[in-house]
Amino acid sequence: MIKFKNVSKKFAGSEYGGLNNVNFEIKNGEFVSIIGHSGAGKSTILKMLIGEMRPGDGSEIWIEDIRVEKIKAEFLPYLRRRIGYIFQDYKLLNNRTVFENVSLAMEVAGATRKEIQRDVPRLLELVGIADKSKNFPNELSGGEKQRVSIARALSHNPILLLADEPTSNLDKANSFDIISLLLKINNSGTTVILATHDREIVDKLKKRVITIHKGSVAMDQEFGVYYLPDY
């Protein structure tokens, strides 16, 4: 379970750039979309979940039995091995092949050579790019690059998958392919949190939607649609 309790964060010189007393819980296995205007706090929430950003005093952030905002810096890598993160700009190593981009993430997490040789082909098959294992990122389409990013995020069997605007650089067809892949991963039991601006995707998902407005939870719909309050 994920829990935000009275989570606040203020940024100097920004009226709404942080969070203001955010409260929500996400059960294991849920698929949740987080929506909001630019600067509403969507990415801030994701960064707090991986310990990249610390909240203000009095805030509580829980992943299972881990109090995230209290965790010491030296233990953050252990937390992050339980979380997969998908970026909108892929963050692939351009001088490494598809196979190497995924295998390097496994090496960093302590996987053996045997585990890498066994699991990377399986992951590439799962995300639909097994035939691209020897290609470099500059030889891939945007949709294919995002599939590599997803395979990398799944390489350490995370309990939680965070997707920060994963379709923002993709056309409509590739966007829905990526969302279908996230649903497939969610159906296997992985909790998925999707931060997105895409109205059509949110409306078609018919999943839970948390709306962040000016740093606060404005709406929390169990089977939600895309709706943003006016400024």
Q: What is the pLDDT of residue 228?
A: 87
pLDDT of residue 202: 96
CB 165 within 8 A of CB 195: yes
The predicted structure's pLDDT at residue 231: 64
Specify the pTM. Answer: 0.93
Dihedrals phi, psi of 222, to nearest 5 degrees: -65, -45
- What is the tens place of the pLDDT at every residue in 162-200? 999 999 999 999 999 999 999 999 999 999 999 999 999
Helices marked H in 109-159? 113-126, 142-153
Q: What SS3 class is residue 42? A: helix
* pLDDT for the residue 16: 58
Q: What torsion do the CA atoms of 24, 25, 26, 28 make, to the nearest 10 degrees?
A: 170
98-121 burial code (b ≥16 CB/10 A, e <16) = bbbbbbebbeeeebeeeebeebbe
| Position 78, amino acid | Y
C-beta atoms surrounding 11 within 10 Å: 14
The Cα 161–Cα 119 span in angstroms is 18
Residue 14 clears pLDDT 90, i.e. is over it: no
Residue 13 has pLDDT above 80, yes or no: no
pLDDT-wise least confident of 7-21, 81-95, 116-130, 212-226 = 7-21
Token code pair at residue 15 = 């009226």
CATH code of 1-82+160-225, in short, is: 3.40.50.300
Distance CA 161, CA 206 (A): 19
Higher per-residue confidence, 157 vs 231: 157
* Separation in Å, CA 159 to CA 82, 109, 140, 153: 6, 15, 28, 11
Residue boundaries of the structural domains of the chain: 1-82+160-225, 88-157
